[in-house]
């Protein structure tokens, strides 16, 4: 049995054992929220003094004590005990030991339930901004890479089979738009956390004449929770963050999969920088895309983080339940993993070498101008299904002969069908094939240039949003 007096121990004759203290403690996980806890406590103490709930002297002593604790934690000079259970009790105990009864008045008008919710929301707001900055940098690099290689043509794939040629820039910008949607999700998680729960107390509010709006203003919240029970039990904002991280990681994993394939000798489309590659302990010639593979692999753990939190919350009655102590570790892991993956991916793309000649040569295989030939016959009056059959039969023949569409002469095109002739040579020219996709969002150079302008507009708007919240 533990001999240490608990802050809630008045009703109990015995305390949990040291083993149960360790089993029940969240301090190893929530200790990272120490700065948010101190910031929230200072705002709460100031409000209590303004409202006449505690004296100005007590509020000053509390703030001075908390400021000292802040500096000591920041500088690595203060350690906490596992018996404190969590960071909130650890800081309050230290404060009370140092300043006496004034420290005991800090908890007036609040509960650990709304205090935990406050700290978690403050922490998540800061972390989502951190991820948004990393994601913003990656989108900048994707756009820069697309601009630098705006004329490079590569094979486009469906079912991992060559389909139609596209601009490499067009392919890269597909990921730009994926990550832009990820930014929307991360911003939604930030905004969902931007509601202050403090003042809800345990679940029913408090009898003290507190001013929740002033505390919200001091802490930078846009609003206060409308329902005290919901405020202490809501973890939707954590689900939003975990989901945003999960989808982001899925997108990064898809990009990593392509980089892994493209860097293989069979493709040779890109060469990974040595700093983002590793070797083999037995095969001297190997250069492995390990960091792309790790990012792909870490996606699984972030998916698991989301599923874990959903499972914790799925059957909880109102209001607070101890199960909710398990709400943070997985989300913290998801945030950490996603941030690191974004940083790794940005560095990987910033240093990759694009092998444009290899891409262009590969774009001539796979009969990728076949659709344009069918369209050419349609424009000559042939029904599409008939044109599809004619060109499909031609592809089958050329495949058996080991030839490509570009190998046929004008005379051979006429022999295939009277509607085909010298103009068929242009129809199968790979640059012409790409250039004809002029529809909005298509892969033609003009369409991609317009798309790049839209990317710049999106980045400008997102940059303004970030600047307004991060200074």
Predicted pLDDT of residue 1: 46
In sequence order, which residues have a C-beta less than 8 Å from that of residue 396 and are 6 or more positions away?
none
The reported pLDDT for the residue numbered 4 is 62
Beta bridge partners of 155: 165
Fold of 117-142+168-355: Fumarase C; Chain A, domain 2 (1.20.200)
- pLDDT tens digits, residue range 109-167? 999 999 999 999 999 999 999 999 999 999 999 999 999 999 999 999 999 999 999 99
Catalytic status, residue 159 = yes
Tokens of 158: 């469906």
pLDDT value, residue 24: 81
- Bond from prior residue into 319 cis (ω within 30 degrees of 0): yes
Which CATH number is correct for 19-108, 1.25.40.10, 1.10.275.10, 3.40.30.10, 1.10.630.10?
1.10.275.10
Q: DSSP code of 82?
A: G
Measured CA to CA, the distance from residue 191 to residue 201 in angstroms comes to 22
Q: Which of 17, 222, 280, 393 is catalytic?
A: 280
Query: Active site residue: 159, 277, 388, 409, which one?
Result: 159
Q: How far is CA 236 from the centre of its chain?
A: 17
CATH number among 2.70.50.60, 1.10.40.30, 2.40.30.20, 3.30.1600.10, domain 370-428:
1.10.40.30
Four-point Cα dihedral 300, 301, 306, 312, nearest 10: 130
Q: CA geometry: angle at 246 spanning 256 and 122, to 5°?
A: 125
Q: Using an 8 Å Cβ cutoff, are 50 and 211 in contact? A: yes
Q: How far apart are CA 185 and CA 187, in angstroms?
A: 5
Catalytic annotation present for 171: no
Residues 251, 189: contact at Cβ < 8 Å? no
**pLDDT confidence of residue 309:** 98
CA distance 175 to 71: 42
User: What does DSSP assign to residue 288?
Assistant: B
The Cβ of residue 385 has, within 10 Å, a number of other Cβ atoms equal to 9
- Report domain extents, the chain: 19-108, 117-142+168-355, 370-428
Q: What is the pLDDT of residue 471?
A: 66
List the chain residues with pLDDT less than 70: 1-6, 8-10, 12-13, 471
Model pTM score = 0.93
What are 332's two structure tokens? 């913290």
Strand, coil or helix: what is 162? Answer: strand
């Amino acid at each position: 049995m533990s001999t240490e007096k608990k802050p809630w121990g008045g009703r109990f004759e015995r305390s949990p054992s040291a083993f149960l203290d360790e089993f029940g403690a969240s301090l190893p996980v929530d200790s990272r929220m120490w700065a948010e806890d101190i910031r929230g406590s200072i705002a709460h103490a100031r409000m209590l003094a303004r409202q006449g709930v505690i004296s100005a002297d007590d509020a000053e002593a509390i703030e001075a004590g908390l400021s000292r604790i802040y500096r000591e934690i920041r500088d690595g000079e203060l350690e906490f005990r596992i018996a404190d259970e969590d960071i909130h009790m650890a800081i309050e105990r230290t404060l009370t030991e140092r300043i006496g009864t004034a420290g005991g008045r800090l908890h007036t008008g609040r509960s650990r339930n709304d205090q935990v919710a406050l700290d978690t929301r403050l922490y998540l707001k800061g972390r989502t901004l951190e991820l948004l900055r990393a994601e913003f940098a990656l989108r900048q690099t994707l756009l820069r890479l697309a601009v630098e290689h705006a004329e490079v043509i590569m094979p486009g794939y469906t079912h991992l089979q060559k389909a139609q040629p596209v601009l490499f820039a067009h392919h890269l910008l597909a990921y730009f738009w994926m990550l832009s949607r990820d930014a929307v999700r991360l911003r939604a998680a930030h905004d969902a956390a931007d509601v202050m729960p403090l003042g809800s107390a345990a679940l029913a509010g408090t009898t003290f004449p507190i001013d929740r709006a002033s505390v919200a203003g001091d802490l930078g919240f846009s609003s206060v929770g409308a329902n005290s029970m919901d405020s202490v039990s809501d973890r939707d904002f954590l689900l939003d963050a975990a989901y945003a991280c999960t989808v982001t990681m899925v997108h990064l994993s898809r990009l990593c999969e392509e980089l892994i394939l493209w860097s293989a000798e069979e493709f040779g489309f890109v060469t990974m920088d040595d700093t983002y590659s590793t070797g083999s302990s037995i095969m001297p010639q190997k250069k492995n895309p390990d960091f792309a593979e790790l990012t792909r692999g870490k996606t699984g753990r972030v998916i698991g983080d989301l599923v874990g939190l959903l499972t914790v919350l799925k059957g909880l009655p109102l209001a607070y339940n101890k199960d909710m102590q398990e709400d943070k570790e997985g989300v913290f892991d998801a945030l950490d993993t996603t941030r690191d993956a974004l940083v790794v991916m940005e560095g990987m793309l910033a240093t990759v070498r694009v092998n444009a000649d290899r891409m262009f040569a590969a774009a001539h295989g796979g009969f990728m101008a076949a659709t344009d030939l069918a369209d050419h016959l349609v424009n000559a009056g042939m029904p599409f299904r008939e044109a599809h059959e004619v060109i499909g039969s031609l592809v089958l023949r050329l495949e058996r002969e080991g030839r490509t569409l570009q190998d046929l002469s004008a005379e051979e095109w006429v022999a295939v069908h009277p509607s085909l002739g010298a103009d068929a040579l242009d129809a199968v020219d790979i640059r012409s094939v790409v250039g004809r996709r002029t529809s909005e969002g298509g892969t033609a150079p003009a369409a991609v240039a317009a798309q790049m302008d839209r990317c710049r507009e999106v980045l400008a708007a997102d940059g303004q949003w970030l600047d307004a919240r991060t200074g």
